[in-house]
Structure 1
C-alpha cells in the first residue's frame, strides 16, 4: 500500500470516527435501537482500528476495543447491560494503566506528592473519589455496589497513573474520561429522571468521553497527513 493510500485511509478512518461521534451526540437522548448502538460503537471502534493500522501499542488498541464493547452494552437499558458495560470499561482502564506505566514518567508516583499542579490534581481525585463513592453507595442497588466501587477505584488509579506522565495530551484525555464517568454516575444514580438538566449532562458525558479517548489515541499514534 502506498504512503498516499495509507494517509488517505488514516484520514478516512479518523473522519468517520469523528462523524459517528458527532452524529451520536444528536442521538444521546434517543430510545435504544440497533442503529443508535452502531453509531455509538463505531466512533471508538474506529479509533481502535486506527491504532491497529498505525502500529499503536497493543494496550491502546485493546483499551479502545473494550471501550467500544462497553459503548455497545451501555447503549441499552437495564442493570445487566450496565454491568456488562462497566466490566468492559474496567478492563479497558486496566489496559490504560499498563500502557501509561510503560511510558516515560515525569517523576513517577512520588512526583504527585512534591507540590505543583500534579499534586493539586491528585489531591482533587483523592477527595472526589471517596466522596463520590460515599454518595453513590446508598443509591446503588446491592448487585451493583461492589462493581461500582471497584470501577471507581480503577478509574482513579488510571487517572493518577496518567498524572505521572510527561505528555499533557494524555493527562487532559484521562481527566476528561474521569470527568465523563463521574457525570455519568451522577446522571444514572443521583439525578431524577424528570430533571431538565439531564439533557446537557448526557451530552457532556459523550463529549468528554469521546474527546478524552481521541486525545489519548492521537498521542500514541500519528496519522500520516
Structure 2
C-alpha cells in the first residue's frame, strides 16, 4: 500500500505530466525550439516516471520512456530527427506488444485464444477490421510520396503499430484499448499531414492539434489502464 507521501508524489508527477501536455498543446504550431522540445518531452517522460513510482510493469515504463525520446526527436523538423523519432516509437510499440501479449488471455503463447477474444465481440472485430483496411490503405498512399530511403522504415512501422493495436484488442481493459486506438489514429493523422496533405492546406492547423491530443490522451489511458489493475 502506498504511503500518503508517496501518493502525493505520484499525483504531483502525474499532474505535472498533464500540465506539460496542456502547455504543449498551446505550442504545437510554434517553430521548433529547445524549450518547446523540453515541454513536449516532459509530458510523456513524466508519465513514465509516474508508472515507475506506482510500480507499473517494466515494459510500460520503458514504452513510455521511449515515447518521450521519440517526442524529443519529433519536436524538430529535419529528416534525421524524424528517422530517430520513428525508431524510438518503433521500439516503444514493440514493448507495448510484449506488454499486451503478457497480460492478454493465454499469455505469450496461446494465439488462438487471442484471436477468439477479438472475434468474440462485434466491436472488437469491427475495430480489427477497420485497422486491417486502414493500414494497407495508408501504406499504398504513402509509398509514392516518400523517398526510397523512408519506404522500408515506414512499412515496418505501420505493420508494428497495427500489431500493437491488435494485441491491445485482446485485453479486458477498455481504457487500454481506447488508448491504443487513439495512439494509432494519432500516427495516421501525423503521417497524412506530413506526407499526403499539401503544405499550403488549412487542414494542418486542426491536424497538428488532433495528433497531440490523440497521442497524449492515448498514452495516458494506456498508462492509467495498467496502473489501475
TM over 0.5: yes
Query: Which string of whole-angstrom CA distances, capped at 9 and with x for unpartnered residues, describes residues 45-72 of structure 1?
Result: 0000011111100000000000000000
Deviation at 1:104, TM superposition (A): 3.5
- Matched with 1:153 is 159
Give the alignment of 1:84-103 within 5 angstroms: 84-103=84-103
Range moving further from structure 2, 173-182 or 7-16: 7-16
Measure, in 2, the Cα distance between the counterparts of 1:23 and 1:33.
14
Measure, in 2, the Cα distance between the counterparts of 1:123 and 1:165.
17
Deviation at 1:105, TM superposition (A): 2.6
What SS does structure 2 have at the residue aligned with 1:194? coil
Measure, in 2, the Cα distance between the counterparts of 1:32 and 1:76.
6
Q: Higher relative contact order at CA 8 Å, sep ≥6: structure 1 or structure 2?
A: 1
Alignment partner of 1:220 is 2:229: no
| Deviation >2 Å, runs of 4+ | 104-107, 110-115
Alignment partner of 1:33 is 2:36: no
Measure, in 2, the Cα distance between the counterparts of 1:26 and 1:96.
29
- Matched with 2:199 is 193
Measure, in 2, the Cα distance between the counterparts of 1:119 and 1:109.
10
Aligned length: 222
TM-score, normalised to structure 2, is 0.94
Alignment partner of 1:116 is 2:122: yes
Measure, in 1, the Cα distance between the counterparts of 2:117 and 2:223.
24
Give the alignment of 1:131-210 within 5 angstroms: 131-210=137-216
TM-score, normalised to structure 1, is 0.95
- Matched with 2:63 is 63
Query: Which string of whole-angstrom CA distances, capped at 9 and with x for unpartnered residues, describes residues 97-122 of structure 1?
Result: 00001113395123334461111111
Query: Which string of whole-angstrom CA distances, capped at 9 and with x for unpartnered residues, describes residues 188-222 of structure 1?
Result: 00011111120110100000000000000011124
- Matched with 2:22 is 22
Identify unmatched segments of 5+ residues in structure 1: none
- Matched with 1:48 is 48
Q: CA RMSD in A?
A: 1.5
Deviation at 1:91, TM superposition (A): 0.2
Identify unmatched segments of 5+ residues in structure 2: 107-112
Deviation at 1:78, TM superposition (A): 1.1
